[in-house]
C-alpha cells in the first residue's frame, strides 16, 4: 500500500462542506491541505476550527497547487460540472457531492475525462455507506422478504430551499441511489408530478414514479414544505416487509412478517378470498457508524489503491438520468418518460454491474 498521505482541497464550505472537512480530518492517510469558498465569512469560521489549514476564495489556488492530490466539490449543482472538469484537467482526483451534474451529457464528459486521465471520480451518494442500508441490502439479497413488489420513500422537511434545482434534484438522489442499489436494475420509465408554492418554476413538492420490470415499481415523495423531518423507506416483499426510518437513533430497520396471500385455486368469485398474514416485528442489530466517515475513507482508499469507487461516475450518471427524465415529465404534466437504454454497464438483462473492489474495501463497507 502507498504510505503517502493524500492531500485534499475542499471547494465549498457552506452547508455540507464542513461535515466533509470534519470527517476528512479524522481519516487516516489523508490531510486537508486547503479550503476554498466564495464567502470570506465562511472561510474565517473554518479557519477558527482548522487554524493550520490554508484558506482561499480562489479556486485556482486549489487547482494550481501541485501538492493537492484530490478535490472535494461541495457547491451548488450548477458548479459541479465546470469545477469537476477543471479539477480533472488539472490532474486532481475528484469527489462531487450529489447530484453529479445537471445533465447526462455533462456526466458522460466527466467520466470520459477521468478515465482518460486515470483519475478517481466519485459521487457523494452517502447512503451507500450507511450500515442500515447495507444491512437492508443483505436482507433483500437473502430472499427473506421474497420478491420485491414495490418501494415507497418519503424524504420531507421544511427547507432548505435551493435556487438552481427543484426539490426532486435536492432530496431524491439519496433514495434513488438506495432503490437502484436494492433492485440492481434500471427503471424502464419515470413519471413525476409537482407544484411550485414558494419560488416560481422551482417545484418544492414532487412525487416520482419509477416503473421497473416484472411489475415492480417505486414511489419517491419529496417536499421542502413539510413541518416534520421524515426520512422513511418501505420495501414491500411477497413474504415480508421492511421499514427503514433514518430518523430513528437505533432501531432504523424493522422487518414486518406481514403479507397478503392469494388462494391458489377457486371455482367462483364467491370462493375467492384473500388471506392476510400478520406475524411478528423483528428489529435486526446494526453496528452504528457514520456513513460520511466511511464514504471519505473509501474515497481515500480508492485513490491510494487505484480502484473504482462503489459510487463512481456511472452510478452518479444513472441517478442524473432519472432526474433529467423527471424534469421532462414535470414539463409534460406527469407523462411517463421511457428509459429504455440503461447507461450503466450491464450484462444484457438490465441488471447493474458493480465495479470490482478490493477485499479491504469490502470489509470497510460491511464493517
Fold of 126-367: Dihydrodipicolinate Reductase; domain 2 (3.30.360)
- List of residues 6+ apart from 157 with CB closer than 8 A: 223, 224, 226, 228, 229, 230
Range from 155-169, 199-213, 256-270, 352-366 carrying the lowest mean pLDDT: 352-366
Residue indicated by cell numbers 420513500: 153
Residue in this structure with the C-alpha cell 491510494, named with its chain if needed = 304
Encode pLDDT of 239-251 as tens digits. Answer: 999 999 999 999 9
- Separation of CA 71 from chain center: 19
Strand order in the sheet with 241-245: 275-282, 253-261, 241-245, 225-237, 148-158, 217-223, 205-211, 189-195, 337-338
Q: Distances in Å between the alpha carbon of 73 and those of 11, 92, 174, 185, 331?
A: 5, 12, 17, 28, 30
pLDDT band at 20 (very low <50, low <70, confident <90, very high): very high
**pLDDT score, position 337:** 97
Q: For 185, which DSSP code?
A: B
Rounded Cα–Cα distance for residues 234 and 253 (Å): 10
Q: What is the pLDDT of residues 299-355, one digit of tens each?
A: 999 999 999 999 999 999 999 999 999 999 999 999 999 997 644 443 333 333 343
**pLDDT > 70: percent of the chain:** 88
Contact 215, 188 (CB under 8 A): no
User: What was the pLDDT predicted at 174?
Assistant: 97
Q: Give the least confident one: 153-157, 174-178, 199-203, 358-362.
A: 358-362
Cα within 13 Å of Cα(251), Cβ side: 7
Span 286-306, average pLDDT: 95
Angle at the Cα of 158 from the Cα atoms of 291 and 287, rounded to 5 degrees: 20
User: In degrees, to the nearest 5, what angle opens at C-alpha 56 toward C-alphas 61 and 294?
Assistant: 90
Delimit the domains of the chain by residue range. 126-367
Evaluated on CA atoms 254, 98, 160, 63, the torsion sign reads positive
Q: For the segment 79-99, what is each residue's pLDDT rounded down to a tens digit?
A: 999 999 999 999 999 999 999
Q: Which three cell numbers stand for residue 2?
A: 502507498
* For residue 225, pLDDT beyond 90: yes
223 within 8 A of 205, measured Cβ to Cβ = yes
Alpha-carbon distances of 91 from 22, 31, 65, 95, rounded to whole Å: 25, 18, 11, 13
How many Cβ atoms from other residues are within 10 Å of residue 149's Cβ?
17
pLDDT in tens, 124-161: 999 999 999 999 999 999 999 999 999 999 999 998 99
Query: Residue 73's closest CA among 61, 91, 85?
Result: 85
Q: What is the DSSP letter of 162?
A: P
Report the pLDDT value the prediction gives residue 8, as an integer from 0 to 100. 98
Q: What confidence tier does 280 reach under pLDDT thresholds 50, 70, 90? A: confident
* Confidence band, pLDDT 50/70/90 cuts, at residue 273: low
Q: What is the mean pLDDT of the chain?
A: 90
The pLDDT value recorded for residue 1 is: 45
193 pLDDT higher than 80: yes
What is the distance of C-alpha 56 from the center of its chain?
29
More confident position, 73 or 268? 73
Hey, CA dihedral for 60, 44, 161, 25, is it positive or negative? positive
Which set of grid coordinates corresponds to residue 160?
A: 432548505
The SS3 call for residue 98 is coil
For 331, residues 6+ apart whose C-beta sits below 8 A from its C-beta are none
* pLDDT score, position 341: 63
Burial 195-210 (b: 16+ CB within 10 A, else e): eeeeeeebbbbbbbbb
What average pLDDT does the segment 19-30 reach?
Answer: 95
Which pLDDT band holds residue 271 (cuts at 50, 70, 90)?
low
Taking CB atoms within 8 Å and a gap of at least 24, the contacts of 254-258 are 254/281, 254/282, 254/283, 255/139, 255/144, 255/145, 255/281, 255/282, 255/283, 255/284, 256/281, 257/281, 257/282
Give bridge partners of residue 124 from the DSSP assignment: 97
Amino acid at each position: 500500500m502507498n504510505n503517502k498521505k493524500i492531500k485534499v482541497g475542499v471547494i465549498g464550505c457552506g452547508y455540507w462542506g464542513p461535515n466533509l472537512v470534519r470527517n476528512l480530518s479524522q481519516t487516516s492517510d489523508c490531510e486537508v491541505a486547503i479550503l476554498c469558498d466564495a464567502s470570506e465569512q465562511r472561510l474565517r469560521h473554518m479557519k477558527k476550527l482548522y487554524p493550520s489549514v490554508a484558506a482561499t476564495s480562489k479556486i485556482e489556488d486549489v487547482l494550481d497547487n501541485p501538492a493537492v492530490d484530490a478535490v472535494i466539490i461541495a457547491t451548488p449543482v450548477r458548479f459541479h460540472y465546470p469545477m469537476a472538469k477543471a479539477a480533472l484537467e488539472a490532474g486532481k482526483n475528484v469527489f462531487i457531492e450529489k447530484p453529479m451534474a445537471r445533465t447526462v451529457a455533462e456526466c458522460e464528459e466527466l467520466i470520459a475525462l477521468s478515465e482518460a486521465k486515470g483519475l478517481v471520480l466519485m459521487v457523494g451518494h452517502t447512503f451507500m455507506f450507511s450500515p442500515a442500508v447495507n444491512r437492508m441490502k443483505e436482507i433483500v439479497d437473502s430472499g427473506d422478504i421474497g420478491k420485491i413488489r414495490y418501494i415507497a420513500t418519503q424524504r420531507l422537511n421544511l427547507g432548505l430551499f435551493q435556487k438552481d434545482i427543484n426539490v426532486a434534484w435536492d432530496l431524491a438522489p439519496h433514495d434513488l441511489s438506495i432503490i437502484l442499489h436494492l433492485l440492481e436494475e434500471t427503471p424502464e420509465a419515470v413519471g413525476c408530478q409537482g407544484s411550485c408554492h414558494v419560488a416560481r418554476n422551482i417545484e418544492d413538492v414532487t412525487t416520482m414514479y419509477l416503473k421497473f420490470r416484472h411489475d415492480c415499481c417505486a414511489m419517491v415523495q419529496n417536499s421542502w414544505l413539510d413541518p416534520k423531518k421524515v426520512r422513511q423507506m418501505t420495501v414491500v416483499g411477497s413474504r415480508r416487509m421492511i421499514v427503514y426510518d433514518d430518523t430513528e437513533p437505533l432501531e432504523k430497520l424493522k422487518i414486518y412478517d406481514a403479507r397478503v396471500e392469494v388462494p391458489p385455486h377457486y371455482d367462483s368469485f364467491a370462493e375467492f378470498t384473500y388471506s392476510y398474514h400478520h406475524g411478528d416485528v423483528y428489529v435486526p442489530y446494526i453496528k452504528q457508524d457514520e456513513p460520511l466517515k466511511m464514504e471519505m475513507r473509501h474515497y481515500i482508499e480508492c485513490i491510494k489503491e487505484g480502484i473504482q469507487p462503489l459510487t463512481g461516475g456511472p452510478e452518479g450518471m444513472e441517478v442524473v438520468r432519472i432526474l433529467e427524465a423527471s424534469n421532462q415529465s414535470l414539463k409534460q404534466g406527469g407523462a411517463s418518460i421511457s428509459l429504455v437504454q440503461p447507461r450503466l454497464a450491464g450484462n444484457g438483462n438490465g441488471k447493474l454491474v458493480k465495479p470490482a473492489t478490493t477485499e479491504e474495501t469490502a470489509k470497510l463497507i460491511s464493517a
